[in-house]
Amino acid sequence: MSQDIATIRVTRYRPEKDAKPFFQEYKVPYRHDMVVLDALNYIKAEIDGSLTYRWSCRMGVCGSCGANIDGEPKLTCASFLHDFKGRTITVEPMTNFPVIKDLVVDMEDFMEKLVKIKPWIIREKETPPEQGEYKQSAQELERYSQFSSCINCMLCYAACPIYGLNEKFLGPAATALAYRYIEDSRDQGKDVRFPVVHEMEGVWECTLVGECSVVCPKGVDPMLAIQKTKILGATNAIKSLLMPRGGH
């Protein structure tokens, strides 16, 4: 009885052994309901325990398993083998990030940017719990809720050529999260966040390639967030020109 086989080509890079990365091919039994992560786990368990990659929830909510699959940034847990042409699938580390080993990339740059935009509610004065909750209407929630879906998977950075060309670019996810807090009616931290998103390597680097929103697995649409932040920045700049002592 012949079994259906898929061939997985994976980038290997072991810095202590290899000067350059190379592809290694593994044959994996193919089932229709397999995702790429299943194939990687099979390889690691049955064929080659040294294969190194990140994963966690295996259901598309933790953001750990990003990789370039047949050239496109995707979550390995959300990519069915049957979605790709043929039975050979190439898995590479996410573009634009330095590689630590095999498919594991260095996330430090994104982590710094995430901290820089201060992803928490900032209040001028915290009111004590006895005074009750900060109330928010359904309309107010809708202004930012899609941008709060970000799982920090960084596929958008892998897709963004501007980030690939200029590592200083703040990037899609960080800007979308900054915008999520700027638009949150409970947040009073515009003065803190605006300088970060409106500096030269903030939103102004973006030229609307739009690939970030195409690859986002959660429908965050970071391109939209960046554009709205640009408009906020431009209107802010004009306001400060016309009302030097007023403004926001």
Partner 1 sequence: MKAETHKVARLHAMLWGIFSLGGMIAAFLLPVLIYMTAIAYPYSLWPFNGARDPSFLVTGHLLGALFIFVTIAGSLYHGIFRFQSALTEVGLLKYRRALEAVGYFIIFVGIIALAYYLVTWYLNGTIT
Partner 2 sequence: MEDNKRYPELRRRLSPGWWTANRHYTMYMVREWTSLFVALYSLIFIYGLSLWAMGSRADFLSFLKNPAIVGFSLIALVFTMYHAATWFYLLGAIAPVKIGRSRTKPWQALVLNLILLVIISYLAIWLLVLR
- What residues make contact with partner 1 under the rule CB under 8 A? 161-162, 165-166, 195, 198-200, 202, 204, 207, 230, 233-238, 240-241
CA 206 to chain centre: 16
Task: For the CB of residue 198, give the shortest distance to partner 1 in the complex, in Å.
Answer: 5
**Pairwise CA distance, residues 118 & 116, whole Å:** 5
Binding to partner 2 in span 126-185, by CB under 8 A:
161, 164-165
Instruction: Select the span of 41-49, 148-156, 179-187, 223-231 touching partner 2 (CB under 8 A).
Output: 223-231
Which one of partner 1, partner 2, none is in contact with 247 (Cβ closer than 5 to 8 A by kind)? none
Comparing CB distances to partner 2, the nearer of 78 and 159 is 159
Comparing CB distances to partner 2, the nearer of 29 and 98 is 98
Q: Are 17 and 69 in contact (CB under 8 A)?
A: no
Which one of partner 1, partner 2, none is in contact with 202 (Cβ closer than 5 to 8 A by kind)? partner 1
Q: Are 224 and 156 in contact (CB under 8 A)?
A: no
CA dist 16 to 19, 21, 43, 101, 207, Å? 8, 12, 22, 10, 39
**Pairwise CA distance, residues 10 & 96, whole Å:** 17
Binding to partner 2 in span 12-41, by CB under 8 A:
13, 15-16, 21
Total of chain residues touching partner 2, rule CB under 8 A: 25
Q: Are 78 and 158 in contact (CB under 8 A)?
A: no
Which one of partner 1, partner 2, none is in contact with 234 (Cβ closer than 5 to 8 A by kind)? partner 1
Q: Token match 């750990």: residue? A: 64
**Pairwise CA distance, residues 129 & 38, whole Å:** 46
